[in-house]
Structure 1
Amino acid sequence: MDIATLIGIFSAFALVLISIMIGGSLTLFFNIPSIFIVFGGTIGATMIHYPIRDVLSVMNVAKNVFFTRVWSTQEVVDRFVEFANKSRREGILALESELANVDDPFMVKGLQLTVDGMEPDSIKEILETEIEYLEERHRSGAEVLNTMATFFPAMGMIGTLIGLVQMLSSMEDPSTIGPAMAVALLTTFYGAVAANLVCLPMAGKLRKRSQEETLVKEMIISGIVAVANGENPRIIEQKLHSFVPPKARASRFD
């Protein structure tokens, strides 16, 4: 669970709600027609823009905003130094016993291919292809959220125009001006909140998550290839430390 995301969402919405309640009743900002126009219109427009498969899959990708656990770079370095030591002492097949202790499917796949005797270049090619498709899935999810962030304010503007037309067409009846004006203003409010407090921040977090995950997976590929080539653990550590900021490097051989 990502604490920063939870704190950000809670604080953003809490401050907006508190500001509303200070100025008046919260019920003034609840309007069913406005909700239908903004959220219904945005979902419909998104489904026109993308295949239904992509729209539904965004929920799967969006959960990475809250629940993804990315290995720290130092964890990866330590694990591959251990793998290299074991491989040099007991042989490459000894790594098979380590598979049950690794909870990263990508690392497990790389180790299994190494144990199975595949050439290091072939292992690297397979794993790099997997990274490419991972990045494409993340990019697709962030793109859908960015598109929704574009549609939300646009649907809010459409709702505003609807409200203004209703208001201007019934100026002779003062009792209808209030509800029509509420639709006109609240649709813009809903669209701005949904775009700027939900879609855009989530798309940004997904891009950041993708960068972090890609970096770790590239480290894993480098470690797998080095272990498959039987390189010295100290050399492997130095290679993997090139992915780590200098201040965060901790050598096991000092």
Structure 2
Amino acid sequence: MDQTTSWGILAALAALIGGFLWEGGHWEGLVEKTALLIVFGGTFAAVAVSFPASRLKQIPESLKTAFRPSTPEISARIDEIVELATTARREGVLALENKIAEHQDSFIKNGLQIVVDGTDPELSRQILEFEIDAVEQRMENQAKIFESAGGYAPTMGIIGTVMGLIHVLSNLADPGTLGPAIAVAFTATLYGVASANIIYLPIASKIRIRAAESVQFTEMMLEGILAIQAGENPALIRKKLTAFMHTEELSFARPKEETEDGPETEQTPPKRA
């Protein structure tokens, strides 16, 4: 599990609740069943109206994406690709067929199958890039669900508050109850704004970050697979893929390769269409 997501949410809740209690507030003042029902029930209903059922079924997967660890160890995956390249150089690409069934990563399995099938290199790149685009789009759709919830929640909070104030104004005959009743009414606004800025919007942001990491990591594997197909030297493949490790964020460094003339020249990684 990604510690930053869970600890971040807990820290935000602790800061808000701690500040409230520090000022002399009471736990009971933060718990209002009606406000909970209006804000969270209303937000869920609005999201359900906004998205088809097929997208809503992705919510559990979206939460796993937000709370799971970052991408796999890059150095280990580079070693794996270099090993596959060595096998292909020594025994031919058909020898990779035995590796396909035992591999756990679906992208590498598909890529190796394309290589073994003798697909044209340009077509191989297009097929694998389409697969990357599909994954990126799916994760973006997941982020939009939580982003949408982050937009609806504060509005539902305001609606709950207005409904509470209507109830307060209808009982002006008893001034002694106005204070507590107004406080209860504004609890709905608190729920809406807090849930949007502590839960929904941060999770949407985390999913997008995970999507960027996943795309960059998969593009690294794409370059490795195409290098295997081209029959490149495993040592040069390692050098090329190691460029992907130059920054913590998996940002693309510009790989350098030795040319026939001797000096190293910088090459910009190919861009996807």
The normalised TM-score by structure 1 is 0.88
Deviation at 1:36, TM superposition (A): 1.2
Assess if the C-alpha contact under 8 Å between 1:33 and 1:183 holds in 2: no
The normalised TM-score by structure 2 is 0.83
Deviation at 1:47, TM superposition (A): 1.7
Partner of 2:9 in structure 1? 9
Assess if the C-alpha contact under 8 Å between 1:95 and 1:115 holds in 2: yes
Within 2, Cα distance between the matches of 1:55 and 1:116?
37
Partner of 1:174 in structure 2? 175
Listed one character per residue, the Cα deviations across residues 180-218 of structure 1 (whole Å, up to 9, x for unaligned) are 313421001101111011011101110100000000111
What code does the residue aligned with 1:11 have? A
Partner of 1:65 in structure 2? 66
Within 2, Cα distance between the matches of 1:246 and 1:198?
29
Assess if the C-alpha contact under 8 Å between 1:76 and 1:219 holds in 2: no
Partner of 1:104 in structure 2? 105
Assess if the C-alpha contact under 8 Å between 2:29 and 2:184 holds in 1: no
Listed one character per residue, the Cα deviations across residues 219-240 of structure 1 (whole Å, up to 9, x for unaligned) are 1111111101111112222332
Partner of 2:55 in structure 1? 54
Aligned residues: 249
Deviation at 1:33, TM superposition (A): 0.9
What code does the residue aligned with 1:33 have? T
Within 1, Cα distance between the matches of 2:112 and 2:10?
41
Assess if the C-alpha contact under 8 Å between 1:84 and 1:227 holds in 2: yes
Assess if the C-alpha contact under 8 Å between 1:159 and 1:183 holds in 2: no
List aligned pairs for 1:1-254, cutoff 5 A.
1-22=1-22, 23-99=24-100, 102-174=103-175, 176-178=177-179, 180-245=181-246
Q: Which ranges of structure 2 fall in alignment gaps of 5 or more residues? A: 254-273
Assess if the C-alpha contact under 8 Å between 2:70 and 2:210 holds in 1: no
Give the 3-state SS of the residue equivalent to 2:72 in structure 1.
coil
Within 2, Cα distance between the matches of 1:28 and 1:40?
20
Within 2, Cα distance between the matches of 1:90 and 1:49?
54
Deviates further, 61-70 or 227-236: 61-70
What code does the residue aligned with 2:3 have? I
Give the 3-state SS of the residue equivalent to 2:41 in structure 1.
helix
Q: Greater helix share, 1 or 2? A: 1
RMSD: 2.2
Assess if the C-alpha contact under 8 Å between 2:155 and 2:192 holds in 1: yes
Deviation at 1:89, TM superposition (A): 1.4
Within 1, Cα distance between the matches of 2:181 and 2:230?
72
What code does the residue aligned with 1:47 have? A
Give the 3-state SS of the residue equivalent to 1:63 in structure 2.
helix
Q: Which ranges of structure 1 fall in alignment gaps of 5 or more residues? A: 250-254
Assess if the C-alpha contact under 8 Å between 1:155 and 1:191 holds in 2: yes
Within 2, Cα distance between the matches of 1:96 and 1:39?
51
Q: Relative contact order: is structure 1 or structure 2 higher (C-alpha 8 Å, sep ≥ 6)?
A: 1
What code does the residue aligned with 1:5 have? T
Deviation at 1:44, TM superposition (A): 1.4
Assess if the C-alpha contact under 8 Å between 1:163 and 1:182 holds in 2: no
Within 1, Cα distance between the matches of 2:229 and 2:155?
54
Deviates further, 60-69 or 214-223: 60-69
